[in-house]
Amino acid sequence: MKLDPERYAVFVAFITSFFAVFLSAGIVLGVPAIAEEFGMNNVIQNWIITLAALVIAVFTLPAGQISGKIGVKKTLIIGVSIFLLASLGACMSFTTEMFLIFRVFQGIGIAFSNVSAIAMVVQAVSPKNRGKALGFTVTGVYLGGSLSPVFCGFLVRNFGWRAMFYFVLPFLALCVVLMVMKIPGDWITDENSRIDSLGYVLYGIGIILFIYGFTNLMTGFGAASFVIGFILLIIFSYYELRTESPAFNMNLFRNMKFTSSNVAALCSYLAIASITTILNYHFQYVMGWDAQISGLMLIVTPILMALIAPNSGKLSDRIHPQKLAAIGMSITTAALLILVFLNASTPLYLIVAAMVLQGIGMGLFTSPNTNAIMSSVPPKETPNASAAQSAMRTIGQTMSLGILTLVFAWIMGSRKLSSQYADMIVQSSQLICLICTIICIIAIFASLVGIKSKDSFNI
């Protein structure tokens, strides 16, 4: 069957979204082997994952302005190419320094790819099919997250950690070829804008200090970093409102649908990102399962998300997307409420029920919420809207893991995670789930506020 440019655009966005998450999530399984080969200590080892996440957070907003200036498709080609070359470089690394440098470039490539992929779908697909197309793109994210533990575990065990990076290369190369050969147009939305270098610096330093500080609030330096980062982000926002060519158009937040949907997105990732880790700890340290069985059980939620996301996206083309988002987040809240009472005697069927509800709820929430964000701005602002949506995801996920770190440190101190301290793990997990439930309720209200807004969607 011959595909039209719209379908090629959605396919490319699906593949790039899939492999960005696939490698980001899957590298966890390769970290021990990488650390052993390069002789990394535990501090450097943790930076294998953290470094790329911080780089993605830093480059997300600049990617929005740059893609608007030079073209959405061109920016996506550049982002995927950087991702591809950095993955090849990681395969060929023979020192710790080389490997971490290529992880930085992988983060840059993923940041530009994430922003441009969503923006390209919005520009390439007609408004009547936008929700459906965004649903398929979001499905790529969920499938990448659900399949990466199985695939990457297999690759690392049988072919070594470099196989993870080699595996993504042909798919990324295919995306570049398809964009050059099959997708016309470039969708330049703001060619005359001036690159906001000072804005980039303020945001970059601010977000690094903010995220680092939040994950280390128990220390004096971490608390100081958090406060300084927060102040710099306020200064960044103030400056962006007054500069002629801002790195990010803060005026978009005057649109209540845009603002409420972004707040809901931030809250959803804040609430959900740490739940997989909590369940993994429960399965291994409290129930005594091995990593393989735990990994297979954890597939339940993302698989359901992947199945529901494209259908909820399609449905959001006909039903108010924020109504669907509010319903989805309500179901997710019910799932987390069950997990608030998680303990050693909780029956497995109840845990599975919570995972099923979470999968259904997030599947109903994410695609319509993304559609609401992208449809609430004028066409020329789609790169900025995509950057905001991607930033909410990155910041929310990182801060969610920060909450997990803080709570475990508060309850367990410096004790090592093990079955010996199962009671403390349960206590920590229950408190985190309670916090996440409250955050989910805030996300529901954010979606409901957006429904009542008089701001219109761009359809």
Model confidence over 418-435: pLDDT tens digits?
A: 788 889 989 999 999 999
Q: Where in the chain is the domain with CATH 1.20.1250.20?
A: 1-188, 255-459
pLDDT at 106: 93
What is the chain's percent helix, strand, coil content, to nearest 5? 80, 0, 20
| Cα–Cα dist 332/317, whole Å | 22
What percent of the chain stands above pLDDT 90? 30
pLDDT score at 101: 92
pLDDT tens by residue, 112-149? 998 888 888 888 888 778 777 888 887 888 788 777 77
Tell me what the mean pLDDT of segment 12-41 comes to.
81
Query: Which segment, 283-292, 368-377, 383-392, is predicted with the most confidence on average?
Result: 368-377
| Token duo for residue 267 | 């809250």
Element (H, E) at 358: helix 348-375
C-beta neighbour count of 202 within 10 angstroms = 21
Write down the pLDDT at residue 362.
93
> Hey, which of 40-44, 95-99, 134-138, 145-149 has the most confident mean pLDDT?
95-99
Convert the pLDDT of each residue in 164-210 to its tens digit. Answer: 899 999 999 999 999 988 888 777 776 666 777 888 889 889 988 99
Domain 1-188 carries which CATH code?
A: 1.20.1250.20
With a pLDDT cut of 70, the percent of the chain lying above it is: 94
Residue 1, pLDDT score: 43
Average pLDDT over residues 242-255: 82
DSSP state of 125: S
Q: In a 3-state reduction of DSSP, which class is residue 31?
A: helix
Average pLDDT, the chain: 85
Residue predicted with more confidence, 82 or 53? 82
255-459 fold = Growth Hormone; Chain: A; (1.20.1250)
Torsion sign over Cα 397, 399, 401, 403: negative
Q: What pLDDT does 33 receive?
A: 80
Q: How many CB atoms lie within 10 A of CB 431?
A: 16
Q: Which two tokens stand for residue 441?
A: 């309720």
Sequence length of the chain is 459
Q: Which comes out higher in pLDDT, residue 299 or 202?
A: 202
Amino acid 457: pLDDT = 62
Element (H, E) at 151: helix 130-159
Q: Phi/psi of residue 192, each to 5°?
A: -90, 5
- Separation CA 227–CA 363 (nearest Å): 35
pLDDT of residue 143: 80
Q: How far apart are the first and last CA of the chain?
A: 29
State the pLDDT at residue 227.
Answer: 95
What contacts 311, CB < 8 A, 6 or more positions away?
135
The first and second tokens of residue 435, run together, are 């916090």
Cβ burial of 244 (10 Å; 0-12, 13-18, 19+) is exposed
CA 19 from centre of chain: 12
pLDDT band at 346 (very low <50, low <70, confident <90, very high): very high
CA distance 366 to 369: 5
Average pLDDT rounded to a whole number, residues 284-305: 80
